[in-house]
Structure formats: structure tokens, C-alpha cells
Amino acid sequence: MEIFIDADACPVKDEIYKVAQRYGLKTWVVANSFLMVPASPLVERVVVDAGPDVADDWIAEHAGAGDIVVTQDIPLAERALHAGAAAVAPTGRPFTVDSIGSAIAQRALMEQLRSTGDIIGGPKPFDRNDRSRFLQALDQMVNQEQRRRAARPR
């Protein structure tokens, strides 16, 4: 089990590092620019070329069954789910196979409304409640995967 962070605009990197350290999980910090990461053999920085979806493509190519992808990007979450990984937004909202279709539809609707000027602005500001929900969701995902692996016949 590894954690992949879509890191360019991720507000919960420090929280991920703490959870990953507690469970001894390899963490990939993927971004289009150089980001500071903790000096740990468990944390690997990956700087990809600039461009749309380059970081997403790298994550989608490397994340697999049992991994966790942290992203706000709904199409990347869908790709992660198809690869067998779990996906969670920095707000703690888990993406699931059952919910991803409606998330994609809502994203398309919101893009359409913004393009016509019917809606301006973006999501509400990130707050400490989002951070708390995220920590709970990440911890729950790690524990679920550990239980699943422990229950697997050898």
C-alpha cells in the first residue's frame, strides 16, 4: 500500500506525511514544480513536466490496487478507482465506484454553468473541519486496506 499525492494544490500534505509515517507507508509527492518534502526514506518527490494532466498521468500510471490517491481532480480519482486504488479529496470526501459517475456529471454541469456566467467563484474556502474530515477518511482508508490484506488467504 502506497499513498500518491496530487501535490500542486494539496492543502493536507503535512497531514498525509504524519499518517504515512505512523503506518510506515511509502508516499509519492507528485507535482509540476519542486516542493519541499520531509527527509524520509518513505517520502519520494516526483517532479513532472509542466502541462495539463502530466502529474495526473504519472499518478494514474503508478497507482494500483490497494493504494490511496489524494486528489481534488475528479477525472484522476476515476482513473485511480479503475486501477483498484482508493481516492479521497483533501476535504475528506472519498470517491467511490458508486459515487464517481455523479461527481463527474456534477463537475461537467458546474463547468457549463461557470462558462455561461450563471455561477461565478469556486468552492468554499478550505477550513479546519475539512482537515479533520480528511484525517479521519485517510486513517479509515488505511485501516480498511490493512484489514483487507490481513483477511486475504495466504
Q: Is the confidence at residue 43, as pLDDT, over 90?
A: yes
Average of per-residue pLDDT across 13-31: 97
What is the value of pTM for the model shown?
0.86
Q: How many Å apart are CA 54 and CA 34, to the nearest integer?
A: 14
CB atoms under 10 Å from CB of 122, counted, come to 8
The pLDDT tens digits of the residues spanning 97-135 come to: 777 767 676 756 666 666 777 666 666 788 999 999 999
Q: How many Å apart are CA 59 and CA 79, to the nearest integer?
A: 9
Q: How many Å apart are CA 11 and CA 59, to the nearest integer?
A: 18
Average of per-residue pLDDT across 77-97: 94
Tell me which DSSP letter residue 114 carries: H
State residue 116's pLDDT score: 76
Listed range (4-18, 37-51, 73-87, 90-104) with the worst mean pLDDT: 90-104
State residue 143's pLDDT score: 96
The pLDDT tens digits of the residues spanning 140-154 come to: 999 999 999 899 776
Q: How many Å apart are CA 4 and CA 85, to the nearest integer?
A: 10
26-31 and 68-70 as β-strands: parallel, antiparallel, unpaired?
Answer: unpaired
Give the end-to-end CA distance of the chain in Å, rounded to a whole number: 17
Q: Which domains does the chain have, with CATH numbers?
A: 2-151 (3.40.50)
